[in-house]
Amino acid sequence: MKKFLCIFFSVVLTVSAVVMTGCDGEKKDNAETKGTETTSQTEETKADKKGGLSEIESYLEKFTEGDSDFYGAWQPESFNYMSVVFRNDNLAEMVTGTEGYFSKYTLNEKKKTIKVQLMPNVIDGEYSYEFSDDKKKLTLTLDDNELVFIKQKDFSLIPEAPEKPVIDSEILGWWEDENGLFYCFQQDGIMYENSISMETCYTYTIKDNKIKATYSVGTEMNDEFTYSVKDGVLTLNDVKCKRKTV
């Protein structure tokens, strides 16, 4: 299975003629594996919920909690195909559809500047910043260039759960491989993947003893994972994963 971050390259070209570099390299290739029995989703449409949120929702929400006016999702006025999320772990995230790409940001509240590099020649540099009185608009200024962002109230990286996914109860929960890449599979057919430099939310279903996963980058994209479970170890595309606590 291969997936590249180069979707951002094509998107940026349509609005700014910016050549994006640093596309993510290949993820691990597919490998044949023995299938396991699958079971249909129960009548619950959202499983494993705590406080009204699913496991993945609860995990993602933690990163935008706090008292900084920056935390949360912002919609750029000049290019509305993406969102920018400022997180409380000093990561800024460029999100298109259900996929996000991480970059670090540095905030200097005394000087009222923020340094962030998300899109070469677009969101790239050390900016002075100013919030509107109601904190719903953020203006970043570098030289004579201004970027205006509007706070997004109902932003979510998570897609709508599929109606009738086929799931395997053995893979539900959080898993981490030896390279630090981790996943979560929910009973409602939502899957999460974090590869350190980016994160993706999918809808998934089990078919032909493989995980068929779909995500969005403005257009629908598909991934496929071979898998097996033995002695409490999940093998995805020939890479072993152990249970993870989040």
In tens, the pLDDT along 80-131 reads 889 999 999 999 999 999 999 999 999 999 999 999 999 888 899 999 999 9
Position with higher pLDDT, 27 vs 215: 215
The CA–CA distances, whole Å, from 57 to 45, 52, 119, 204 equal: 14, 9, 26, 16
What total of structural domains would you count in the chain? 2
Residues pairing with 203 in the sheet: 190, 214
b/e sequence 126-140, b meaning 16+ C-beta within 10 Å:
ebebeeeeeeeebeb
In tens, the pLDDT along 45-82 reads 444 444 478 999 999 999 999 999 999 999 999 888 89
Does residue 188 sit in helix, strand or coil?
coil
Find all residues with CB under 8 Å of 80, minimum gap 6, and list them: none
- Is residue 3 domain-resident? no
User: How many whole angstroms separate alpha carbon 66 and alpha carbon 72?
Assistant: 10
Domain boundary among 151, 186, 203: 151
b/e sequence 163-200, b meaning 16+ C-beta within 10 Å:
eebebbebbebbbbbeeebbbbbbbbbbbbbbbeebbb
In tens, the pLDDT along 25-47 reads 444 343 333 333 444 433 444 44
Q: What is the pTM of this model?
A: 0.80
Q: Which of 46, 79, 31 is nearest to 186 (CA)?
A: 46
User: How many whole angstroms separate alpha carbon 246 and alpha carbon 55?
Assistant: 9
Domain CATH for 180:
2.40.128
Domain boundary among 151, 177, 212: 151
Report the run of H or E that residue 64 belongs to, with start and end.
Answer: none
- Is residue 73 domain-resident? yes
In tens, the pLDDT along 143-193 reads 989 999 999 999 999 999 999 999 999 999 999 999 999 999 999 999 999
Does 178 lie in the same domain as 120?
no
User: How many whole angstroms separate alpha carbon 146 and alpha carbon 222?
Assistant: 36
What pLDDT score was predicted for residue 79?
85
Does 225 lie in the same domain as 111?
no
State how far Cα 42 lies from the chain centre: 26
Q: Rg for the chain (alpha carbons), in Å?
A: 19
Does 204 lie in the same domain as 229?
yes
- Is residue 15 domain-resident? no
Domain that holds residue 214: 31-52+158-243
